[in-house]
């Protein structure tokens, strides 16, 4: 079966290669990374001695951020462990190298047997930890053949993914059977895995690790620096539209245009989710005649008082959320993406609002709304109404933000639960307590 997948996958890769090359050129992606993934290249063998090697994998930037809290706790409680990190995207690799500069970071192998075998031979993992839902059949099969347990942490399945998995049940059931542990975010995901015949002993409800990393720190030097660079004043109302995805940027700007004269103290910080949207959004702003500043052009020596700021840098959204009085969470309006993480702005005490399409964070959104910590708008037409309401009623805005913060703080504990489960998969004679 592995050889069949190799053959079919290789044919598909050849057929798609013109599109892959064009897309890589258009988006400035590295062909060297793709080549390393094709070969299963790992730059060096990790660690040494008898301590276990844990291979953590996150697809891109979001998953790498999710792993930070877990890896920090693992290093604190198990300092002898060898930890290695992989990512699938260029941006994920850059962020992993930034976050884990002293650890081995490498591209995740493409799902060909030669690439997976080479990576497994080099890393020799004791356990593999996958963030959220990165499941590849050849990788899982070869890990299982070597007796390497695989855990999926912070697991969740959107309704769309659940439908797809059920429709292809003949293929997905064997795939899921290769996983030793699903540490799931919510009861709905746990129920889905049960329906897919995953044994109860392999399912654990931990809650979301994303709550753990959402700890605001207004005194953080980076937050203080951004506040100074953006020349933020106490009497201003800062609206952050974060993780936006086309066409949400144009809807946000339309709403800001309608409100700018009515609410002169309102400022907009716009943070597109995808780096390849930075330049198109900048062009859109320029063509519409907006006066704005690009974050990449700013510094402490060159601050700005512009009312519109385009954050065209990576890795700063967490700090930018801490500047927000109002927070619109993107990917939630056009019905294609399922919403982005609203936990971080909620933890920062911002008044959070988002569109109706939030199936990626269905339970989080429902709980935040139920506690009065967030509000949902039904379409882009309601965006200016939401901003006007929250900007014009400071007491309501602050109460909403405080309720959001209190809810997030009440959800702590998933990281510790997850680490205990990972330790239990292989036993743990290497911890400090041993």
DSSP 246-271: TTHHHHHHHHHHHHHTT-TTEEEEEE
Element containing residue 406 per DSSP (H, E): helix 394-409
User: What is the CB-side half-sphere exposure of residue 134 using CA atoms within 13 A?
Assistant: 23
109 neighbors 139 (Cβ within 8 angstroms): yes
> What pLDDT is recorded for position 429?
45
Nearest to 48 by CA among 11, 72, 84: 84
> What pLDDT is recorded for position 29?
72
> What pLDDT is recorded for position 205?
95
pLDDT in tens, 49-75: 678 999 999 998 889 988 998 999 999
| Residues of the chain scoring pLDDT < 50 | 429-434
Domains of the chain and CATH, by start: 29-43+50-214+413-422 (3.40.50.11720), 221-409 (3.40.50.2000)
- Taking CB atoms within 8 Å and a gap of at least 24, the contacts of 118-121 are 118/39, 118/40, 118/41, 118/42, 119/40, 119/41, 119/42, 120/146, 120/148
Alpha-carbon distance of 197 to 115, in angstroms, equals 30
Question: What does the block give as tokens for 224?
Answer: 């203080």
């Amino acid at each position: 079966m592995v050889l069949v997948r190799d053959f079919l996958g290789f044919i598909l890769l050849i057929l798609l290669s013109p599109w892959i090359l064009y897309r890589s050129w258009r988006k400035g992606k590295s062909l060297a990374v793709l080549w390393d993934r094709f070969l299963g290249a790992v730059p060096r063998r990790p660690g040494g001695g008898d301590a276990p090697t844990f291979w953590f994998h996150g697809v891109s930037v979001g998953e790498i951020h999710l792993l930070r809290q877990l890896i920090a706790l693992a290093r604190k409680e198990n300092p002898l462990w060898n930890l290695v990190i992989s990512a699938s995207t260029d941006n994920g690799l850059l962020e992993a190298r930034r976050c884990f500069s002293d650890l081995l970071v490498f591209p995740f192998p493409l799902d060909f047997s030669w690439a997976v075998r080479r990576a497994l031979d080099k890393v020799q993992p004791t356990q593999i930890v996958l963030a959220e839902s990165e499941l590849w059949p050849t990788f899982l099969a070869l890990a299982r053949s070597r007796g390497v347990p695989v855990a999926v942490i912070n697991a969740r399945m959107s309704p769309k993914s659940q439908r797809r998995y059920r429709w292809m049940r003949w293929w997905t059931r064997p795939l899921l059977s290769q996983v030793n542990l699903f540490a799931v975010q919510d009861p709905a995901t746990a129920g889905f895995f049960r329906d897919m015949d995953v044994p109860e002993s392999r399912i654990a409800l931990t809650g979301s690790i994303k709550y753990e990393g959402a700890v605001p720190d207004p005194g953080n030097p980076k937050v203080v620096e951004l506040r100074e660079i953006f020349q933020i004043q106490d009497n201003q109302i800062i609206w952050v539209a974060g993780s936006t995805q086309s066409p949400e940027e144009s809807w946000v700007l339309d709403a800001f245009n309608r409100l700018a004269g009515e609410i002169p103290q309102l400022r907009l910080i716009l943070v597109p989710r995808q780096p390849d949207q930075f330049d198109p959004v900048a062009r859109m702003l320029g063509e519409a005649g907006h006066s704005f500043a690009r974050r990449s052009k700013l510094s402490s020596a060159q601050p700005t008082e512009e009312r519109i700021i385009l954050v065209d840098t990576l890795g700063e959204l967490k700090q930018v959320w801490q500047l927000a009085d109002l927070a619109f969470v993107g990917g939630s309006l056009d019905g294609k993406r399922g919403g982005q993480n609203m936990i971080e702005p909620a933890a920062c005490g911002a008044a959070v609002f988002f569109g109706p399409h939030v199936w990626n964070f269905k339970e989080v959104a429902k709980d935040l709304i139920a506690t009065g910590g967030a509000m949902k708008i039904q379409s882009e037409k309601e965006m200016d109404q939401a901003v006007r309401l929250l900007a014009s009623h400071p007491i309501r805005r602050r109460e909403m933000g405080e309720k959001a913060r209190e809810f997030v703080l009440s959800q702590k504990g998933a990281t510790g639960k997850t680490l205990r489960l990972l330790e239990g998969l292989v036993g743990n004679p290497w911890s400090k307590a041993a």
